[in-house]
Amino acid sequence: MAAAGHGAAGTPGGEPHGLSVRAAPKRGYPGHLSRDTLSLMDAPTLSASACPHDTAKNLPTWIEFFLVLGQVSGLEIGYQHAADFPEFYERFREVDLVYANPLDALRIEDERGFVPVAMPDNYDEVVFVAREGTQGGLETFEGKPVGAVENQFATLLGCLLFGEAGVRSGEIRYYPSWGEVLAALRRGEIEHALLYKDFYDQLSELSLEGVRTVQVSQARRFAHVVMLNPERAELRPQLLEGLAKLPEHPLGQLILADLRIGRFTPFGSTEPIRALSQLTVG
């Protein structure tokens, strides 16, 4: 599977296009940060953006994440919102810091020479789902059409896990977003599908009505990656220090909990991701 960008054309969460903010916090803590904010007036300024699938239902928390990361790093980080993937890819030309899924980390490295900084401990996983009424495990995907989103790491991982289990699925039918994959499954257009686990975890019981969870992967291969503009590479140590401080920071703890992240660890090379992305699943 190619390591190019997503095929998602829709707006994952319906947020306004072109949002550019200096992070407007929602937790009522500006007073606690005002002195820090003043001290950052002469700090290096970075612009950041995050994967639309992650910000679709959690935009305020991501804005807070970059605000607090900047403050604990001794930087000023402004947020450049991308409501969908085409806009996200456009942002690659103007931002300094990106939180991207593994395949998009490769894309921004190839297109702009961005360097990897860190990876969180919430690994990207895939959920194998089927229409209610079907029975069995992964073997029931044998020869059957499977819904997924093109050029997503969860799709790649699902195909690799099929191969490891000796399962040869039928045609992979691509949809613009995970929400549309789920909708196609629920209306009976397909009976089997792959879903990105972070998307799946945010679904209500009502949204999963008529859907059977077959298996949730625990592959722990890769997670999203914090990527940095090579022109700002000298700030990588500061960012690493700031990311390491977040779990011990009172506000950082709350933000990471909202994002289901425990901590970040340094990540120095995308080559392991590239090697995995180039595997051909027969």
What six digits make up the tokens of 15? 């947020």
Q: Is the pLDDT of residue 176 over 50?
A: yes
Mean pLDDT, rounded, for 167-196: 94
- Name the pTM for this structure: 0.79
What six digits make up the tokens of 169? 């699925």
The pLDDT-based confidence of 13 (bands split at 50, 70, 90) is: very low
What local confidence, expressed as pLDDT, does residue 43 receive?
Answer: 66
- Phi and psi dihedrals of 244, rounded to 5? -70, -30
Alpha carbon distance 151, 153 (integer Å) = 7
Report percent pLDDT > 70 for the chain. 84
Mean pLDDT, rounded, for 238-252: 97
Cβ-proximal residues to 162 (8 Å cutoff; 6+ apart), any chain: 138, 141, 168, 169, 281
Q: Is the pLDDT of residue 8 over 50?
A: no
Q: Is the pLDDT of residue 25 over 90?
A: no
Which range, of 20-29, 43-52, 98-107, 265-274, averages the lowest pLDDT?
Answer: 20-29
The pLDDT-based confidence of 10 (bands split at 50, 70, 90) is: very low
Query: Which pLDDT tens digit goes with each residue over 44-90?
Result: 799 999 998 889 878 999 999 999 999 999 999 999 999 988 999 99
| Burial class of residue 106 (count of CB atoms within 10 Å of its CB; 0-12, 13-18, 19+) | buried
The pLDDT-based confidence of 216 (bands split at 50, 70, 90) is: very high
Q: Is the pLDDT of residue 14 over 60?
A: no
The answer to whether 124 and 223 have CB atoms below 8 angstroms apart is yes
Which range, of 10-19, 173-182, 197-206, 259-268, averages the lowest pLDDT?
Answer: 10-19
Q: What domains lie within the chain, and their CATH numbers?
A: 20-121+222-277 (3.40.190.10), 126-216 (3.40.190.10)
What local confidence, expressed as pLDDT, does residue 24 receive?
Answer: 47
What six digits make up the tokens of 83? 């409501």
User: Which amino acid is it at 260?
Assistant: R
Alpha carbon distance 62, 58 (integer Å) = 6
Around 17, how many Cα atoms within 13 Å sit in the side-chain half-sphere? 9
The answer to whether 64 and 27 have CB atoms below 8 angstroms apart is yes
Mean pLDDT, rounded, for 152-165: 94
The pLDDT-based confidence of 42 (bands split at 50, 70, 90) is: low
What local confidence, expressed as pLDDT, does residue 4 receive?
Answer: 39
What six digits make up the tokens of 210? 């008529």
- Phi and psi dihedrals of 266, rounded to 5? -60, 140
Q: Is the pLDDT of residue 268 over 90?
A: yes
User: Which amino acid is it at 223?
Assistant: A
E runs forming strands in 217-279: 225-228, 264-266
What six digits make up the tokens of 151? 């050029």
| Burial class of residue 93 (count of CB atoms within 10 Å of its CB; 0-12, 13-18, 19+) | exposed
Q: Is the pLDDT of residue 116 over 70?
A: yes
What six digits make up the tokens of 112? 């702009």
The pLDDT-based confidence of 27 (bands split at 50, 70, 90) is: low
Q: Is the pLDDT of residue 33 over 60?
A: no
